[in-house]
Amino acid sequence: MTVNFPKVPHAANTQPLKSKKQSAVAAFFSNLMRSWTGMLGFLIIVLLLFISIFGQWIVPYDPLLADFGKKLLPPMTDGHLLGTDQLGRDIFSRIILGARISVIIGVTTVLIAGTFGTIVGIISGYFRGWIDVILMRIVDVQLSFPFILLVLVINAIIGTGLRNIIISLAIGGWVIFARVIRSEVLALREKEFIIASVATGVSRIGILFKHILPNLFTPIIILSSLQIGTYIIAEASVSFLGFGVQPPEPAWGNMLNEGKDYIFSSWWLITFPGIAIMFTALGVNLFGDWLRDTLDPELKGE
Amino acid sequence: MLDYVIKRLIQVVVVVLLALTVVFFLIRLSGDPTALFLPPDAPREQIEEFREKLGFNRPLHIQYGEFMVNAVQGDFGQSLRSREDALPIVLDRLPATFQLAISSLLLSLLIAIPLGVLSAFKRNSVFDRISVAFTVLGQAVPSFWLGLLLIYFFAAQLHILPSGGAGSVVHLILPMITLAAYSVARFTRFTRSTMLDVLRKDYIRTAKASGVPTFRLVGRYALKNSLIPIITLVALDLGTLLGGAVITEVVFAWPGIGRLLMQSLMNRDFPIVLAGVFIIALIYAVINFVADLLYAYVNPQIRVK
């Protein structure tokens, strides 16, 4: 193939001007303002991040401090906004601190699963050949087992705790990234500007870093934002089942697990942590959907 | 087509064997369970005897080979607790899980398809907006929490339904709703978007212009053409339903495979865990297999590939 228009395509592609960067931020917000669901999701995420960073200075009580004289107080009594649990601990404080656990687990898992899955996807899609066949077989096999069960079984066997639940979720989650990134890379390889670069003699590694990687940014961001919600709900489910994050650590899932024994007498124990999980998942999902529709209109509505 | 079927069948076998292999090694690498069954001050001979009896003292690859040879014949050893064969214990729980999963599936289809069709047909109406809001919310509510809320309202407050257990149709109601909720949200959303695609097609516009009554238009032309992708999605989603069933079973003390698996994981009763993983992986792989065949049957492009 003798394509002969050197440098122009990727030169235009790799030199974002400073003013362009600023307008990107402005475009982001003006776009966001137009969608109230995206805005709602964005606000929930900002609130969640704020709480998980500054939570320890907001909480009115020590979330781990038991006070048996004050156990199972209903909401709005004795200075306890959302009441107290079976050990007399302040539920509001525990939910605030629980946000940090959810955020840490969601973000860390996405970083690990996303990085590993992306690397596998790039290797598979860019280099093809036997390594692609092997890697994609592994992905196929894993995708044919229910995600939540996989996480549960792995976590139950390797042991509970924050670190192990992150490992379990990452083992369960990387395959989605590998699958999606591989197909993105395959599509990119066929694009004219890549073919042109090959023709002008840019090395394989050079093309990978200069052209493939920057163009993977959008799909990675979209997928990550959609996966965080999945991981947070999965962690809550696993912790609810008695694995995952263990008491007395205030994870929303294990708060519900402890609260379910008091369901006939104290409704607030099973109500508020669930609302927290629901709003978090709602915020992340709404924002993720908006992001996908905005950045990649082709995918709109699944 | 036959090539494709054979290829996919081999894949089913590989998936199940690999699932067993991974879980086997995870279990062995996390330590042998001897310590859980004998007191910490048990004499050395007793520990050795126990390990000898259960075969934990031999090299790992020998244990693995023997395990796999027995497993493919349906022998997963005996439950470490009850000393009964593991596989029959698991199979005993299968009907309960199927009962829950199938009734939830039917319930969600009965709700989701009419809702999605109506939503698409009355696009941007109040009804459509409410239904879309519900589907978004429904996908954000974790099923175990919904289960707790239902127990609170219908068992703790109204005293009209049992909070758990099995035995009658009444016991099935709450777990069935809990498990169906997420599928209702997903299926409604998908039915709506599929219907919207179909409604945009030329033949629908032609039918509309030539005065076909609305009811007939939906039933005869639009729904028929969107049913195929919907069925495919449903088949592909059955696995997720199966995963959700595990959690729902625990919430409602429903005596299915999921609850058994959870209890065995808690007790580190590994023969049962392995037999359970085997059955779940097998069901899941077979469902995927059937879904793929269905899909290939509908979409000739895949058959050729």
Indicate whether A200 belongs to any domain: yes
Q: Residue A274: which domain range?
A: 36-53+91-295
Side chain identity, residue A132: D
Look at the block and give the residue holding tokens 């005993």.
Answer: B92
Nearest to A95 by CA among A84, A105, A106, A109: A84
Q: How far apart are CA A270 and CA A252, in angstroms?
A: 10
Q: What is the largest CA-CA distance in chain A?
A: 83
Tokens of B254: 């429903």
Query: Which residues of chain A neighbour B261 with C-beta distances below 8 Å?
Result: 153
**What is the DSSP track for A42-62?**
HHHHHHHHHHHHHHHHH-SS-
Q: How far apart are CA B15 and CA A139, in angstroms?
A: 11
Minimum mean pLDDT among A32-36, B236-240, B259-263: which range? Answer: B236-240
Indicate whether A286 belongs to any domain: yes
Nearest to A158 among B19, B30, B190 (CB): B30
Asked if the C-beta of A159 comes within 8 angstroms of chain B's C-beta atoms, the answer is: yes
Minimum mean pLDDT among A43-47, A96-100, A207-211, B54-58: which range? Answer: B54-58
Indicate whether A125 belongs to any domain: yes
pLDDT for res A76: 86
Indicate whether A165 belongs to any domain: yes
Nearest to B142 by CA among A156, A258, A256: A256
Q: How far apart are CA B191 and CA B118, in angstroms?
A: 10
Q: Where in B102-253 does DSSP place strands (E)?
A: none
CATH 1.10.3720.10 fits B86-304, yes or no: yes
Asked if the model's pLDDT at residue B180 lies above 90, the reply is yes
Domain extent listing, chain B: 86-304
Indicate whether A137 belongs to any domain: yes
Q: Give the total number of structural domains in chain A.
A: 1
pTM recorded for the entire structure = 0.86
Give the angle subtended at the CA of A71 by the CAs of A67 and A72, to the nearest 5°: 155
- Model confidence pLDDT, tens digit, residues A133-159: 889 888 887 887 788 888 998 998 888
Q: How far apart are CA B50 and CA B56, in angstroms?
A: 8
- Model confidence pLDDT, tens digit, residues A61-96: 888 888 888 888 889 888 888 988 889 899 999 999
Asked if the model's pLDDT at residue A43 lies above 90, the reply is yes
Mean pLDDT of B41-66: 80
Contacts of B151 (CB under 8 A, 6+ apart): A263, B163, B164, B174, B251, B252
Confidence band (pLDDT; 50, 70, 90) for A2? very low
Indicate whether A59 belongs to any domain: no
Q: Which residue of B has its CA nearest to A230?
A: B140
CA distances from residue B103 to B100, B110, B204 in whole angstroms, order as listed: 5, 11, 34
Asked if the C-beta of B133 comes within 8 angstroms of chain A's C-beta atoms, the answer is: no
Q: How far apart are CA B176 and CA B244, in angstroms?
A: 11
Minimum mean pLDDT among A38-42, B71-75, B100-104: which range? Answer: B71-75
Whole-number percent of chain A with pLDDT over 90: 46
Asked if the C-beta of A243 comes within 8 angstroms of chain B's C-beta atoms, the answer is: yes
First to last CA, chain A: 37
First to last CA, chain B: 10
Mean pLDDT of A223-242: 92
Asked if the C-beta of B158 comes within 8 angstroms of chain A's C-beta atoms, the answer is: no
Mean pLDDT of A116-126: 94
pLDDT for res A73: 86
- Using DSSP's 3-state secondary structure scheme, residue A80 falls into strand
Minimum mean pLDDT among A157-166, A189-198, B54-63, B84-93: which range? Answer: B54-63
Asked if the model's pLDDT at residue B254 lies above 90, the reply is yes
Tokens of B189: 């959303």
The helix-helix angle for B143-150 and A252-259 (nearest 10°) equals: 30
